Every structure is written in C-alpha cells, then in structure tokens.
Amino acid sequence: MANRRISSLSSLGGTPNTADIIPITDVSDTTGSAQGTTKKVTVANLVAAAPQGDLLAANNLSDVANAGTSRTNLGLGTAATTASTDYASAFYNIVTKTTHYTLTNAENGKVIFCNSSGLIDITVPSGLTSGFNCRVVQGGAGRVRFLTSGTTINGYTSGSNAPNAVIGQHGVADLVPTGTNIYSLHGDINYLLVYSNVNSVNFDGTNDYFDPSSAISFTGVYTLSMWFKQTTDALGILAFGGSAYIEPSGSNGRVLVSGYSGGIHSATNSYTFGQWSHFMIARNSSNAVEAWVNGVSAGTGTNSGTATFSKFGIYGTSVQPFGGDLDEISLFDSDQSANIATIYNSGVPTDLTSLSPVNWYRMGDNDGATGTTITDLGSGSNNGTLINGPTFTTNVPS
C-alpha cells in the first residue's frame, strides 16, 4: 500500500478489531537507517492499560483485605456489603425507642423517635462524645422524661420531688451540648413532678407548730387531708382555726372534730398512738360534713359559714400542742369525699396533683428538708413557716 497521509485513512467503526494496531514512532531515535523507531500498540494493550471496573466489580471494596474496616472508614456502616444501591441504613437519621433508654454515641446527630403510651425515660449519661447532640420526638401518648446521670441539663433537675423536663405527645426537644457533660434542652419542654415521700416534720409537743403565711379559709365546699403520728402526749391539736379544732386523743384512739362539723367524734381506737394515721374532713355543697380516720368514716355533721385553718399542731396556750410527726397536709376547695380511697391509698401518701389541691404542704420533700419554710405546692402558693424549732425526719407513712 502506498504511503498515505493519516488524514486520508478511513475511520474505525464502533469497535476496533483487536488485531488493529496503532503505530508509535520514537522520533528521538536517530540511530536507525530510517530515523525513528516504530512500534505497534494493539487494542488489547489499551484495554490493559486503562482503569477499569465499577465500584462493585472485581477490584472494588469487597476485594480489600478488610472490607468491614473499609466500610467503617468510608462511613458506610452496613451499606455496600452487597451489590446494592440501597445505602439508607448507613445514613438513616431516625432511631425508634419504646422503652427507657440511655443515650450512646450511636445516637449522635440523630432523631430519637419515642413511641409509647407510657412514660419513657431518656437518660443523658456522662462521657458522650464532645458535641453530642440529638433530637427527641414523642409520637406516643405517653411522656418522655429527660434524666441525667453524671451530667447537667441547664435549668432542669432530675429525679424525685423535683421538676423534671418532659415532652408530651408530638413534642420535640433538641439536646444541645454547652460544655463537658453539660447540655441545654430546647423545644416543647414541660415540667413533671415525680412524686416521692421521704420526709415529714417532727413536732416536740412543747410549743412547735406550723403556720401558713395566711390563714386558709373556705366559705363553701372544702377538704382537709393530713397524716399524723402522735408520739409524745395523749392529746394534741392537728389543725386549728377560729374556734374550731381537730384533736386526736392517743389515750383512746379517738379524733374529735369540733367547730368544723358540729361535733364529730370518731370511734374508740380508730387510730393507734405511735403509728401513722390519716385524717380527712370534707364539706359538700349542702354543708354536710364527713370525717374519716384511716379511710374509715368517723361520722357526719353539718357546718356552714367560713371554715378556717390558721395553724397546724397547736391550738393556743392552754392546750398541749401536737407531739409527733405531721406529713402531707393538703387542702382543697372541692369536696374530695368521693376520693377518700384514692387519697388514703391503703395507708401510703400518694401524688395529689391530679386532684388540684389549693394548698399542699409536703413537709420537707420539696424543700430539701432544711430551713423553716414549707413551700405550698398547691395553687394557693401560701407558703408556711415552722415555728419554734420543729425538725425534719425521714419517718414517713408507708
């Protein structure tokens, strides 16, 4: 074939014949008879020299010595273990929890989707990776409570008798780091008081008493509930106001309700000296009054007009003050007679929040059992003072 210019050659088809060659001339070679050395390059040479294979073909990740490490290093998680295009599990941002759960670093940056009709505790432990953050969502009807374990959630406490941070159904809260083991919560946060009764107040029977800042008065329906353990004298006063008083007599286990009821006197041995007992009195809209001792009706009476409770534990100077322990004093501007079984609770104080007390004196449980102030947890915000040295104790009804 006569020499032809390259530009005069016909073009190849879509696929060259493997036997086709491309001539390469080394023009720097001047030693030959004809200047330059010419070699041939076949199509097979080109295929061998070119990069080849896709991600999941022969020379991909599955061929490396430690495929698991490779996937981890690439942030693929459990993805790419097969020739699949579904990488969702590696980048999935939502994890579902239906029971109490302690966060781990695996939840960093993710959404914790809670789904339960009951309470779910999400505990934030110490030692999570720096910058740990997550979003918590409640899809179920129950509440999600945030607890700490070696950590601090700014503005919130964690545990019993303290305002715990919670979210309700459809609530969303972001847990954001603000320091080492310190976080802030932002979102649909509410408070939840986790009830626990571990303190009461001891009155020495000489001159101790509890004095609400303002006398508590009712012109209509009302209820008084309180727990007492009489230990130091046969007589004493549980509550007093105006000319009315409630007087337990340890010598015969009877409780006299005078002034508040027209005179109710419980049966002999309705309570036991030296043991925790519960007393409740309620007036309904017809001015009918009923008293209960340890959940059992002590009698009925009638009383109208203003009923006042100004002091607890003392009557005046001529009557022996109460000697023993008082706990969980609560007053309602409602007739709670239908709830006597709930309030008495088989002899164990219970959370009264749902009954909406006007005054609720926990007698140390929400005051750290220190100082002389008893905070009113009811809607009345009528704090009281321990007068003449009553002391906190861990002796409680149980």
CB of 309 to other proteins, least distance (A): 17
Q: Is the CB of 134 or the CB of 235 nearer to other proteins?
A: 235
Specify the pairing of strand 222-230 against strand 323-332. Answer: antiparallel
Q: Is the CB of 174 or the CB of 204 nearer to other proteins?
A: 204
**99, burial (CB in 10 Å: exposed 0-12, middle 13-18, buried 19+):** exposed
Q: Is the CB of 146 or the CB of 245 nearer to other proteins?
A: 245
CB of 223 to other proteins, least distance (A): 22
Q: Is the CB of 208 or the CB of 290 nearer to other proteins?
A: 208
Other CB atoms closer than 10 Å to residue 293's CB: what's the count? 25
Q: Is the CB of 108 or the CB of 320 nearer to other proteins?
A: 320
Rounded CA-CA distance 107/128 in Å is 10
DSSP state of 10: P
Enumerate the β-bridge partners of residue 264: 257
Q: Is the CB of 245 or the CB of 360 nearer to other proteins?
A: 245
Enumerate the β-bridge partners of residue 245: 240, 258
CB of 207 to other proteins, least distance (A): 4
Supply 107's token pair.
Answer: 């939840």
CB of 276 to other proteins, least distance (A): 21
Supply 70's token pair.
Answer: 């490779």
Q: Is the CB of 256 or the CB of 396 nearer to other proteins?
A: 256
Binding positions for other proteins, rule: CB under 8 A: 204-207, 232-233, 235, 245, 247, 249, 256, 258, 315, 317-321, 323, 372, 385, 387-389
**354, burial (CB in 10 Å: exposed 0-12, middle 13-18, buried 19+):** exposed
Give, rounded to a whole angstrom, the gap between the first and last alpha carbons of the chain: 114
Specify the pairing of strand 277-283 against strand 264-265. Answer: unpaired
Rounded CA-CA distance 199/396 in Å is 6
Q: Is the CB of 60 or the CB of 375 nearer to other proteins?
A: 375
CB of 281 to other proteins, least distance (A): 15
CA angle 294, 233, 363 (to 5 degrees): 55
Kindly list the distances between the CA atom of residue 186 and the CA atoms of 101, 172, 176, 177, in Å, as whole numbers in the listed order: 20, 8, 8, 11
Enumerate the β-bridge partners of residue 233: none
* DSSP state letters, 74-101: TT-TTTTSSS-S--HHHH--EEEE-S-E
CB of 198 to other proteins, least distance (A): 23
Rounded CA-CA distance 202/396 in Å is 10
Q: Is the CB of 209 or the CB of 218 nearer to other proteins?
A: 209
CB of 323 to other proteins, least distance (A): 7
CB of 200 to other proteins, least distance (A): 18
CB of 266 to other proteins, least distance (A): 12
Rounded CA-CA distance 184/178 in Å is 7
